Copies of this chain bind each other. A is one copy, B any other.
Amino acid sequence: MENCDWCNLSGEEKHFQVYESKSWSVFLSDEQDYIGRCILVLKRHCGSMSELIDDEWEELRNLVCKVEECLKTVLGATLCNWSCLMNDFYKDSAPDPHLHIHVRPRYDKPVILNGNIYTDNEFGHHYALNKSGDISSEDKEEVFIRLKEWLNR
């Protein structure tokens, strides 16, 4: 779609793509409030899960399994929180949502990256909505490389 930001991601935004399948792209999120947080974006412009076609639904299943295993293996996640919300699009007077799914890995132990310690203080509770996603660019790059290597191995 011509005016959809998600259909027209810039090169910079695409830089953090860790994996792609036929129908989906997986990006490391800008927000790293939960280390390894990713977003699954359907390559086709489509507004809701109800409108997925057969192949896209089947691929989503494979991706859920693959990304969850990756986050557990590579970063030590205990579980993953999955959500498909799409609320931001509805701020617009003529909402035209583009399907995407968030995955936040949750940790019962701190994640250590380049000597920096990241703690999931809310473990066992709903993810925080206003948690700081501050992470050094070095640490983000480290997460990006680890996920990308594992997912494309």
Contacts and interface: CB of A to CB of B under 8 A. Distances in A.
B61 A48 contact: no
Interface string A32-65: 0000000000000000111010000100010011
Interface residues on A, range: 20 to 34
Given A49-B64, A84-B81, A91 B129 contact: no
A110 to B, nearest CB: 16
A124 B68 CA distance: 28
- Say whether chain A's binding surface is mostly helix, strand, loop, or mixed: mixed
Contacts of A64: 49-50
Contact of A88 (B49, B82, B85, B124): B124
A136 interface: no
Given A57-B61, A79-B97, A97-B79, A125 B87 contact: yes
A61 B68 contact: no
